[in-house]
Structure 1
Amino acid sequence: MRPDLVIFDCDGVLVDSEPVTNRAISENLAGYGLHLTVEECMAQFVGGTLSGVRDKARRMGADLPEDWVAEIHEATYAALRRGVSLIAGVRDLIDALEAAGVAYCVASNGSREKMRITLGQTGLWDRFEAAMFSARELGVAKPEPGLFLAAAKVHGVDPAACVVIEDSASGAKAAARAGMRCIGYVPEGAGVALRGQGAEVVTRMQEVAALLGVDG
């Protein structure tokens, strides 16, 4: 069934920013005694907030200062400004949604500033600026459902008529709690964690249009 609203996550769904962000986190944490590869950081931290990263890293043995979140914001934003790319197939999917008259928006645990950096350099800022929901602004983050429910409310759409596109189990859990269908984008791996939260898993963004009924 064609949805009335498609809610995109940002990092890892619209833009390929997770490796860049987690490389910056890996390098930073090494300075505080916690040595994790980029892949280990992604496994531990993707889908969470930076305050959540701080708390988990401390439990893992990192001696982080009180102002660490501000520090890592600066480090990750600097890394992102050096360049990120669009997820392959995303622009075509957005074009298909527009052609079909299906509303779309972005809902992220990241800040609007971060989305301005990533979406701005990939040409998507103008398409999402008026339809953007940030956990930093709303005060509720995934896996809580409030971010997605706020998007549905603003668009005047029943949650059951929404589809969320996510790359993390945290986001898929938020979608399930909101009563929304979730498509999990997992370009690598089996997507076990997302399937465990009820997501339909795809490995290519080009598969999503057919699942949404907007493939012409």
Structure 2
Amino acid sequence: MESLLLSQPKLVIFDCDGVIVDSVMAHCEVQAENFAKYGLNITPQEVLSFGAGKMSSIGDAAERLGARLPDDWVDEIYREIYARLELGVPVIDGVLDVLDRLEHSGVPFCLASNGSEEKMAIMLEKKGVLDRFDGAIFSAHTIGIWKPDPGLFQHAASAMGVLAEDCVVIEDSHTGVLAAKRAQMRCFGYAPDGEGRALENEGAVVFKNMQQLPELLGL
């Protein structure tokens, strides 16, 4: 798979859940169990279809299907998710090698996630990955802008001193790919299960395993 870039990017922006750590289904399992307490019996895969936006939006989607959530539901579900993540989630196979290649090539990288800084720290510190980002972590909770709004990626690029046109985003969700598109950033969509049509439809170049990514980035 040859690089589709004319030159190496000046910044690579990674999503966290599903790109750095394999945590997406852990979230969905906790949410599905929680919704069952409030009268909505759905599968983790159905929760996944709600998207990767704000937690309150996920709650709204559940309520439209009949869940009767309490007023403090967002706080409750975060407590349950954090407790699950404390047990640990695996690092995506091959992604640490990608970070090594970026460092060797002198290409900066950062994280930009709809998740909170606390949640990212819980997941990444347990796996020894947190220090790899050296403080270059941008959370929608801190900035107040959630994907698919492009503002989170734009903020990350500005903070890192790089123009949007010189950035590449690595995403696994339709929400994230749409945010990259709106930010006018090139995007590679990680679809390990081969279900990348939705990402491709929003303009992402889809790849199936992290071993392909260095070549795509021109490293």
TM-score surpassing 0.5?
A: yes
Q: Aligned partners of 1:129 and 1:41: how far apart in 2?
A: 32
Q: Aligned partners of 1:184 and 1:80: how far apart in 2?
A: 24
Find runs of 4+ consecutive structure 1 residues off by over 3 angstroms: none
Decide which of 39, 44, 53 is 1:38's aligned counterpart.
44
Aligned twin of 1:120: 125
Decide which of 14, 17, 21 is 1:15's aligned counterpart.
21
Distance 1:32 1:189, change over 3 A: farther
One-letter amino acid of the structure 2 residue matched with residue 44 of structure 1: F
Aligned positions of 1:159-198 closer than 5 A: 159-198=164-203
Tell me the CA shift for residue 129 of structure 1. Answer: 4.3
Q: Aligned partners of 1:101 and 1:129: how far apart in 2?
A: 14
Q: Aligned partners of 1:17 and 1:147: how far apart in 2?
A: 21
Q: Aligned partners of 1:185 and 1:43: how far apart in 2?
A: 17
Tell me the CA shift for residue 44 of structure 1. Answer: 2.2
One-letter amino acid of the structure 1 residue matched with residue 33 of structure 2: E
Q: Give me the CA root mean square deviation.
A: 0.8
| Structure 1 residues without counterparts, runs of 5 or longer | none
Q: Aligned partners of 1:33 and 1:170: how far apart in 2?
A: 27
Provide the secondary structure at the position in 2 that maps to 1:44: coil
Q: Aligned partners of 2:16 and 2:113: how far apart in 1?
A: 6
Aligned positions of 1:87-102 closer than 5 A: 87-102=92-107
Tell me the CA shift for residue 34 of structure 1. Answer: 1.0
Aligned twin of 1:136: 141
Mapped pair 1:74 → 2:79: yes
Decide which of 24, 32, 38 is 2:30's aligned counterpart.
24
Mapped pair 1:4 → 2:7: no
Number of equivalenced pairs: 213
Q: Aligned partners of 1:22 and 1:126: how far apart in 2?
A: 27
Tell me the CA shift for residue 190 of structure 1. Answer: 2.5
Q: Aligned partners of 2:73 and 2:29: how far apart in 1?
A: 16
Listed one character per residue, the Cα deviations across residues 82-111 of structure 1 (whole Å, up to 9, x for unaligned) are 110100000000000000000000000000
Task: Provide the TM-score with structure 1 as the length reference.
Answer: 0.97
One-letter amino acid of the structure 2 residue matched with residue 86 of structure 1: V
Q: Aligned partners of 2:85 and 2:9: how far apart in 1?
A: 32
Provide the secondary structure at the position in 2 that maps to 1:15: coil
